[in-house]
Amino acid sequence: MRRHICKNAKCLTTLLDSEGCMGDLSKRTSVIGVIKNCCFEDEFHADLCCNADSLFSKVLLRLCGPEDKLSFEDIQSLCPALRSVYGTEKAFREPDSIIKKTICEALLQLCSTPIGRSHLRSLGAYFVLRELHTFECMREKRLLSEIEEGFGSGRALQTVRSLIFIIEQVVDQLICLENERPTEYQSTSLRNIPVDKTTQRDLESAKKEFVSS
C-alpha cells in the first residue's frame, strides 16, 4: 500500500489540498502521518520529490504564518507556490503542535537522502523552518511564563521543545551541503551510516535533556 502511494504522490497532494482535510484535525493528522510514513522509504524519495511545486511545497506551506518576515532576497529563494503567499494573510500556519512536529519529522526522514535534501533546499525549506523556529521559540517563552504563573501546561511545553529540537535537526541537514559531506556519504542514505550504541545513547540523552529541561 505504501509503495503504491509513494508512486502516486499526486494523491497525497490532492488530499492535503482538500477542504475536508483543512478543516478536520483528525484528517490532517492522518494525511500528514501517511506522508511521514512514505518518507521512510528512501527508494521512493525521487517519486515524492518529482514536482517542485507539488507535495512538499504544500507541506511546507502548513508551516508558514502571516507574521513571518523574510527579506526580499530570501523570498526569491522560495518556490513559486510558497513565494505567492508567504508573509500574507493567505499563509495559515498549522495550529496543532503535534501535526507540526509530524511534518518536521517527515522532513527529517526526507533528509536521509541527497535527493530529499536537495529538493527541500530548492523549495526554500531552510527559510520556512528558520521562521518557524523563531515562532516556536516565542511560544516556548510564553508557555514557560504561564507555568511560572501557575496555569501553564508542562506537556504543551515539552511538545513545543520537541518540535524545536526536530526543526534544528532538519536545518542542520539542510545547511550542510552535499559537497561538504564526506565523499563516502554523498551518494548514500544517512540510514546506511553506522552509529555506535554509545553515540546513539548520547544523542537520545541530549534530546531528552533538551525537551525536559
Question: How sure is the predictor about 182, in pLDDT bands with cuts at 50, 70 and 90?
Answer: confident
For residues 46-50, average pLDDT = 88
pTM of the model: 0.89
Higher-confidence residue of 140 and 185: namely 140
Residues listed for the chain: 213
More confident residue, 178 or 108: 108
What band does 35 get if pLDDT is binned at 50, 70 and 90? very high
Quickly tell me which residue has 542514505 as its cell. Answer: 189
CA distance 86 to 64: 7
Amino acid residing at 138: M
Q: What mean pLDDT is predicted for residues 80-104?
A: 90
Q: What is the structure's pLDDT at 1?
A: 63
Q: Contact 93/65 with Cβ under 8 angstroms?
A: yes
Cβ pair 91, 65 in contact under 8 A: yes
> Who's near 42: CB < 8 A, 6+ residues apart?
112, 113, 189, 191
Q: Kindly tell me if the per-residue pLDDT of 51 is higher than 70.
A: no
pLDDT-derived band at 92 (thresholds 50, 70, 90) equals confident
> Average pLDDT over the chain, rounded to whole?
87
65: left (phi over 0), alpha (psi -120 to 50) or beta: beta
If you average pLDDT over residues 92-102, what whole number do you get? Answer: 94
More confident site: 19 or 100: 100
Bigger pLDDT: 62 vs 13: 62
**Count of other CB atoms within 10 angstroms of residue 36:** 20
Above 90 in pLDDT, residue 106?
A: yes
